[in-house]
Amino acid sequence: MQLLLIHSDNIEYSAQKKTPVAEEEIIPQDSLDEALTVFCAVESSDEDDIEGTVKKAVAEILETSKKLGTKNIMLYPYAHLSSDLSSPKAAVEVLKKMEAGCSCEEDYTIKRAPFGWYKSFKLSCKGHPLSELSRTITPGDVEEKPEKKQVTHEF
């Protein structure tokens, strides 16, 4: 899984049009202030261990939110972060489980933009040194493929 985490003054989206893989029951538009926006691409290798991937991703997201001092999280599916995507079915399962996992945290507000829709969005990134982070999450019990590097960017 590829994650791009952005500390945002505001994030808002509005679903415009279905793609062929659109999920059906959605919140068509929503917004969140003072949020950690989490752009996510679920990858094919994540399908080998969905629970493990979700657990690692949730831990990473919550740790980042605590460092930044925000309890507002917007999960935002973003296929463009990877060239090796999972099936749409697995992606929706993972995203829903990430939403549920983050929601276990007390006093947090978790929102999730719909998968498989063309969406307009507005995003404002705060711009401090920790306001943009990328993370590669690999399933824990799967041997890392040689061509995949574990990468942490803080710039």
Question: Looking at beta carbons only, is 3 or 101 nearer to a second copy?
Answer: 3
Report whether 54 contacts 31 (CB < 8 A): no
| Rounded least distance, CB 17 to a second copy, Å | 6
Q: What residues make contact with a second copy under the rule CB under 8 A? A: 4, 14, 16-17, 19, 21, 79-81, 83-84, 116, 118-129, 131-134, 136, 147, 149, 151, 153, 155
Q: Which is nearer to a second copy, 8 or 65 (CB)?
A: 8
Instruction: Give min distance, CB of 136 to a second copy, in A.
Output: 7
Closest distance between a second copy and the C-beta of residue 64, in Å? 14
In angstroms, the Cα distances linking 57 to 41, 100, 101, 144 are 11, 12, 9, 16
Q: Which secondary structure element, helix H or strand E, spans residue 68, and what is its range?
A: helix 50-68
Q: What are phi and psi for residue 5, nearest 5 degrees?
A: -105, 125
